[in-house]
Structure 1
């Protein structure tokens, strides 16, 4: 069940084919394999820990480093280069990694060198010489493949333990559900320290023999150029990326004509963006859902099964249940409750945190996601919000997403975030923050009037505040907790 062996076999089967194209140019399958052998020897000389940190921009370097670590029987720790220094160094220390594979330009971009481990710069290796031959290690189903850190409720990141079996299962689930073949071409810009960027945009295409195009930075005009040049069939982005692509004035429907699958994930896709993208380019964006703890993909709304605001049906071998979050009792179809997920892609647990693991996983193997949603009679899932972000206004449950959907349809609003503020009479009141479209003027009365025309009275924001840029996570998700903290 080794996650790396299918990739190695595929690269050996087509050694001269261009497996990866990144900002530095194309890479053939044999080049990736030889580079991984060189990197494995360097990692072996550098340290002996079971874990190996990988701190690299989106591109061919990540699969080279990952294959090298797995060939040694070690665990990969993808490192988020956008974190603050103390957070990144905490992860290195907590994971036990004594070696971090990185590159000089990456460290220059960060502006510092993290401490706590030896830094192995890929550009210092002699890739032109013959590498030391070795037989890659084999792993069992439950052996730890990746330690992927995600935000914790205490403020400290938690290491999500994903096994070789978890990753192999999710790769297979995505491949079967989306009916991929080696003739597909992927275009990826999501960072590979992100679970989707790692599994769906790196491991899956390499194992399936699909060519994958990477660019380290999302620049809308460059994405359109790559679409024109490489004619990819699959693109995945976060909602703000699709909104930004609409700003490319010379982009035309033909630029997107090769796409049979454009997926949005990470946060809810605005209906306004989805509609405009479809009207302008003829592409129906498919929403997907998943968590780091599920390796990550659990649901995708296939274009031919499009249902507005749905993230689609569950992938093969995944069981989903909607439950009362207070009692754990299953709720009938159409009822709103917490989403529980079970399947071979669900994590082993949180690294070194048995209590947190017990809270997240039920005795019979379901993951308590903390997300609220509902299933329709055909099994299509609709996400309504996070339990911890739900507002209770005069006894009524209100999720920020519902208000944000309305705000985002205002002609001047590019993106929005809604949080609750205390109120002595109604418990909480919604407060909105908006980021405006380029050249738009901030007109608070107009935005509030728009909300009044489209929302129940108690859901209308008590105030709307303008920010030049909403706070976002490294993957572009609007951080409501940062908006909340700004009020303190």
Structure 2
């Protein structure tokens, strides 16, 4: 752990990679995936130049190039290859559906999409490709690699020796990546993060948590999501740790043995996935972890307890972030891990709390700092910068005197019932406390008598209001926070990032209410 130096974070992404290679040694293995062929810093830099030179042949400097690849060595090499030649990686969420994918390409002005035959075959993504081909040129990396000849390899060798002389010059303030918000509550927005934003967030995390260059980071989260990209790929590589990329967090049985086999010290996950890994894993498969970092959703007490009972005292560090903040805003510490919070504010992040009517003891969180985005893409292809550098997270939080953050809920996730503000997140927590092994989502609908009413959607087959009411009375929670209408489903829909898909929940509720009307 070291002090955060904001000036040192003013770097382009490729130059930060080159600086890390010098600091930790060009021959240090830094990247690996399930193919089990580790790449050193030098391998990564040479591969980026070889591939990037080919991509540069059919794209323009500054062009927003679509990337539709899983978390893999190839995905990371492609990201750095685009940076070596001044292109902007535009990460496409292949789990978001055809409509959202086409909207993302249109918004960002993507003309070329990079993907792989193997990935499309294994993921059965042919429908997505057909849709993308109506508006973009789809290029397969296997086909590109076949054209890499001796001149390209000689160029890459020379560039590996003198990377700063061969890379296309860019500035720290230039776009580093375009990502699309998860769309939990509507149409995804295009977020432009500068190169300095991404480098700064990696440096902020390193200044916040003591990291060891001997560690292996195991990342099964998608690199189209900021947590998987910054936390799972850029952070370890820029801080001298091997980044092990795995293509899908859904491979519940395959991941725990690999965590053991790779000697991983840090695992990136969400609560849902971690809980499933812990249930599937043998006792020795996760026991070697130093800690787990969880984001995207609240970590349940049940998950904390399950890990502790089965694998020993491995801290689950719950963190908090937003795509617009590159993404990490706060995270717990191994030596000070406070359950129920999302951790301590990262160095260099300023906060402002704005009062929310009817919600005492907290406020709407706005953040500003070196990791806060350049802005949102607008329909004209430009960038709308955040006013005064402040990003409105839309989250209602409480902050302690020593800058630890507790999430009270999203502004959109409060209902007004009988004149009282009720947190839908608190209502979900109530259901989780009663049925910890199940997954739950609560939404609010208009109600002619009380203003709004709560609907619980759950995969718990025997869920009834009675136990919820009893638990609320036992803990002193207001009865207004208890959903009286319960809809049971085989499974709760989630986004590719692991978050609950609330638009899909809304559709389930609408369909059910129409059915019984």
TM-score normalised over the length of structure 1 = 0.90
Which deviates more, 263-272 or 289-298? 263-272
Question: Equivalent residue for 1:380?
Answer: 404
Q: 1:419 to 1:393 in 2, by over 3 A?
A: same
- The residue correspondences of 1:349-388 to structure 2 (distance < 5 A) are 349-352=375-378, 361-363=386-388, 365-388=389-412
1:18 and 2:18 correspond: no
After TM superposition, give the deviation of residue 82 of structure 1 in Å. 1.1
Question: 1:247 maps to which residue?
Answer: 279
For 2:509 and 2:430, locate their aligned partners in 1 and report how far apart those are by CA, in whole Å: 23
Measured after TM superposition, the shift of residue 396 of structure 1 is 1.4
Give, in angstroms, the shift of residue 197 of structure 1.
0.8
Q: Which of 86, 95, 103 is the aligned partner of 1:73?
A: 86
2:245 maps to 1:214: yes
- After superposition, the C-alpha distances for 1:39-88 in whole angstroms (9 at most, x for unaligned) are 11221122226111111111111221111111111211011111212321
What is the match of residue 132 of structure 1? 155
Q: Give the gaps of 5 or more residues in structure 2.
A: 1-10, 160-165, 511-517
Query: Do 2:414 and 2:422's aligned partners in 1 also have CA atoms closer than 8 Å?
Result: yes
The 1-side partners of 2:424 and 2:154 are apart by 54
Question: 1:276 aligns to what?
Answer: 306
Residues 445 and 387 of structure 1: CA distance in aligned 2, closer, same or farther (over 3 Å): closer
SS, match of residue 372 in structure 2:
coil
Q: Does 1:88 align with 2:101?
A: yes
Equivalent residue for 1:122, pick from 141, 150, 164: 141
Structure 2: how far apart are the matches of 1:350 and 1:443? 41
Q: Does 1:42 pair with 2:72? A: no
Q: CA deviation at 1:214?
A: 1.8
* Deviation for aligned residue 1:38: 2.1
Q: 1:307 maps to which residue?
A: 338
Cα distance in 2 for partners of 1:427, 1:296 equals 35
Q: Partner of 2:287 in structure 1?
A: 257
Cα distance between partner residues in 1 of 2:246 and 2:272:
17
State which drifts further: 149-158 or 15-24: 149-158
Equivalent residues of 1:173, 1:317 under 8 A apart: yes
Q: Is the 8 A contact 2:465 2:484 kept in 1?
A: no
Matching residue of 1:466:
488
Q: Which runs of 4 or more aligned residues in structure 1 lie more than 6 Å from their structure 2 counterparts after TM superposition?
A: 354-358
Structure with bigger RCO (C-alpha 8 Å, 6+ apart):
2
- Per-residue deviation at 1:348? 1.1
Question: Conserved in 1, the CA contact under 8 Å of 2:366 and 2:390?
Answer: yes
2:233 is equivalent to residue 202 of structure 1: yes
Is this contact kept in 1: 2:184–2:499, CA < 8 A? Answer: no
Is this contact kept in 2: 1:413–1:435, CA < 8 A?
Answer: no
2:110 to 89, 97, 102: 97
Give the distance between the partners of 1:473 and 1:6, measured in 2 at CA.
Answer: 32
Q: Contact between 2:365 and 2:392, CA under 8 Å: does it hold in 1?
A: yes
Residue 120 of structure 1: CA displacement? 2.2
User: In structure 1, what is the Cα distance between the partners aligned to 2:126 and 2:102?
Assistant: 14
Are the aligned partners of 2:417 and 2:480 in contact in 1 as well (CA < 8 Å)? yes
Aligned residue number for residue 341 of structure 1: 367
Partner of 2:4: none
State the 1:393 CA deviation: 1.3
- Partners of 1:154 and 1:405 in 2: how far apart? 19
Q: Distance in 1 between matches of 2:15 and 2:488?
A: 51
Q: CA RMSD for the aligned pairs?
A: 2.6
Shift of 1:246: 3.1
- Equivalent-residue separation in structure 2 for 1:204 and 1:487 (angstroms): 40
Alignment of 1:227-238 (within 5 A): 227-238=259-270
Aligned equivalent of 2:424: 400
Give 3-state SS (helix, strand or coil) of 1:246's partner: helix
Q: Does the C-alpha gap of structure 1 residues 237 and 52 become closer, same or farther in structure 2, counting only changes over 3 Å?
A: same
Give, in angstroms, the shift of residue 274 of structure 1.
2.2
Q: Does the Cα contact within 8 Å between 2:192 and 2:383 map onto a contact in 1?
A: no
TM-superposed CA distance for 1:352, in Å, is 2.3
Structure 2 distance, partners of 1:422, 1:370, is 21
TM-score w.r.t. the length of structure 2 is 0.86
1:149 corresponds to 2:180 = yes
The equivalent of 2:329 in structure 1 is: 298
Pairs within 5 Å for 1:423-434: 423-434=447-458
CA–CA distance in structure 1, aligned partners of residues 381 and 413 of structure 2: 23
Task: Compare 258-267 and 88-97 and name the one that shifted more.
Answer: 88-97
Report the counterpart of residue 515 of structure 2 in structure 1. none
- Describe how 1:467-482 pairs up with structure 2 within 5 A: 467-482=489-504
Say yes or no: does 1:223 pair with 2:255. yes
1:362-383 deviation per Cα after TM superposition (whole angstroms, max 9, x unaligned):
33x2211111111012221001
Q: How many residues align?
A: 475
